[in-house]
Amino acid sequence: MSFLAPLPFRGGAGGGGAQPVPSMAPTPTPPLKGRGFSLCMVLALLSACAPSPQTVTPPPANPPAGMQYLYGSGEAAALSVQAFAMLASHATATAKARPAQSVVLASGASLDQPRFVPCGDKPLAAVFDVDETVLLNIGYEYHDARSGKSYDEAAWDAWERTGAGAVSPVPGAVAALAQLRAAGVTVVFNTNRSAANAAATAQAISAAGLGQAVHGQTLFLKGDDAMGSGKDGRRATIAGRYCVIALGGDQLGDFSDLFNAGQPVAARRAATTTPSIAALWGRGWFVLPNPVYGSGLKGGFDDVFPMDRRWALPTDGEKN
């Protein structure tokens, strides 16, 4: 990654107007004469004719706060271990009880009136997103933070294909997935990584110590159906084959695409705490922290701070 990218021309309304461009025409110089010609003169001439050095944008001194938290902090590690411990405990207990219904919403269900796919005698499974759910994309996020660029589709595709050596498991994931498999629960991955990179993604999952993933059997990817990054179609396919007793993810779309139906930020948040949905968190649906990217990172002041919960520093007359 280079930090030598040229700055855009500072023109237009935001750039303070067009700046004069320094002339690149060489300054007339006296002819070189035998003994008076020196190396210093050559260097001086080369310097005078060379293009102006491009401004170098240094990498940030530290990663963004969200990356410090997710990839560096003990707090995030503890939160993840906590989520996986709850998930494994819940799933192993549920496996013994043999539930009548899965935790995958049935077609036509709503968040207000959830209904779930019945289990029948299907084998048990737990379904996980991959990125920032069971696997930390340490290498890519390092690249992202150092370059200062926003998400780049081509760079991400290259990362999917070549990044297996620079991933880590999410804390708690390796032990939890092993516990599930030992209890007879099949571990299935449902990720928006590309189907074209299926083999490399299976390799990354294995490299992180998360076990085997077989495309079309225990690994489902974007491109497997015509629903793009929506996961409900793949979830329905999985729930048609398995009794899904746990879902794990770092985005609400890892549980239902209904959360991503375009509702305002506050309504989306409220949907997670309505009684019928609130009952699922920690009891079938398990969330991992991700303050780095994703559908949770949006909203203006009016979305995030309700009008009746605002405070300002008191003026002198209001201090008592």
Give the interface with Mg ion as residue ranges (CB under 5 A): 129, 131-133, 250
**Which residue number is nearest to Mg ion in terms of Cβ?**
131
Nearer to Mg ion, 131 or 160 (CB): 131
Q: Which is nearer to Mg ion, 243 or 292 (CB)?
A: 292
Residue 261 CB, nearest approach to Mg ion (Å): 19
What's the closest the beta carbon of residue 140 comes to Mg ion, in angstroms? 13
From the CB of 145, what's the least distance to Mg ion, in Å? 18
CA atoms within 13 A on the CB side of 191: 27
Which residues have a Cβ under 8 Å from the Cβ of 297 and sit 6 or more positions away? 291
| The token pair that represents 269 in the structure block | 């948040």
Shortest separation between residue 129's beta carbon and Mg ion, angstroms = 4
Nearer to Mg ion, 19 or 229 (CB): 229
Degrees to nearest 5, angle at CA 140 with 260 and 216: 60
Q: Tell the smallest beta-carbon distance from residue 135 to Mg ion (Å).
A: 9
Residue closer to Mg ion (CB basis): 143 or 222: 222
Amino acid residing at 234: R
Nearer CB in complex with Mg ion: 54/229: 229
| Residue 133 or 186 having the CB closest to Mg ion | 133
Asked if 245 and 124 count as a contact pair (C-beta separation under 8 A), the reply is yes
Q: What gap in Å lies between CA 77 and CA 71, rounded to an integer?
A: 8
CB of 92 closer than 8 Å to CB of 312: no
In angstroms, the CA 296 to CA 317 distance is 40
Q: Are 210 and 169 in contact (CB under 8 A)?
A: yes
Decide if 254 contacts 248 (C-beta within 8 A): yes
| CB of 170 vs Mg ion, minimal distance in Å | 10
